[in-house]
Structure 1
Amino acid sequence: MGTIRILRVYEEPEPGEYRVLVDRLWPRGIKKDKIDVWLKEAGPSNEVRNAFGHLPEHFEAFVRDYTAELKANPAVDQLREIIAGHERVVLLYGAKDHHENQAAVLLDFLNAAA
């Protein structure tokens, strides 16, 4: 397995990184050629995402609920296949917060399972 990191979709990835968008919603102003694959099914459900609302006081519950979803989500296996097939993968997200977002939770989940 190669390296995996997260990056806000509005920032430039490093050359050679395979770009995977892990948001359920397409980010505003982003052209399709900036993304290699959109794996929207890997993002949190609308229910979990809306309950979080990107409010810091809801992040702990978001981590718990989203992690529970990931355990039964077939998109995680798709993501693992993508990661296995590329040396450098960057998980892209649209949220403004660089630490409390679904890509950070997803990366922690993948690392814990490795």
Structure 2
Amino acid sequence: MSVRVRRIYEPPEPEDGLRVLVDRLWPRGIAKEAARIDEWPKALTPSTELREWYHGGGSYEEFRGRYEAELAAPEAAELLDGLRGTARGQRVTLLTASKTPEQSHAQVLLELLTG
């Protein structure tokens, strides 16, 4: 299984494989054509309330737990399973605008997909 996380602001690379935007909001300053997004499963992104709570000073550990609970909802769980199946056959690149992807929802998704 080959899954990685990259910032959406980095130029697309041929080895990205399936490019999946995992942010709920479209990233500022990026043209949709230039982003080369293959999928944008908004049900896999943190809720607006959770995102605002985390950016308001919430801890990463608590964010992670709350986000995993959101991902257990039927629609999100189905999308996560589908993405996991896709990743078995090809490289998947999770794209985020987060300045610290290693402490973001994208990292949680990466670990759930590869763990």
TM-score band by shorter chain is 0.7 to 0.9
CA distance, structure 2, for counterparts of residue 64 and residue 73 of structure 1: 17
Match of 2:102 in 1: 99
Deviation at 1:107, TM superposition (A): 1.3
Task: Name the aligned partner's letter for residue 80 of structure 1.
Answer: D
TM-score by length of 2: 0.82
CA distance, structure 1, for counterparts of residue 46 and residue 103 of structure 2: 13
Trace 1:1-114 onto structure 2 (pairs within 5 A): 2-16=1-15, 17-33=17-33, 34=35, 35-53=37-55, 55=57, 58-85=59-86, 87-112=90-115
Q: Percent identity at matched positions? A: 43
Structure having the higher helix fraction is 2
Q: Which stretches of structure 1, 4 residues or longer, exceed 4 Å deviation after superposition?
A: none
* 8 Å Cα contact 2:84/2:113 also seen in 1: no
Deviation at 1:52, TM superposition (A): 0.4
The number of residues matched between the two structures is: 110
Where does the alignment leave 5 or more consecutive residues of structure 1 unmatched?
none
* 8 Å Cα contact 1:4/1:89 also seen in 2: yes
CA distance, structure 1, for counterparts of residue 92 and residue 64 of structure 2: 22
RMSD: 2.0
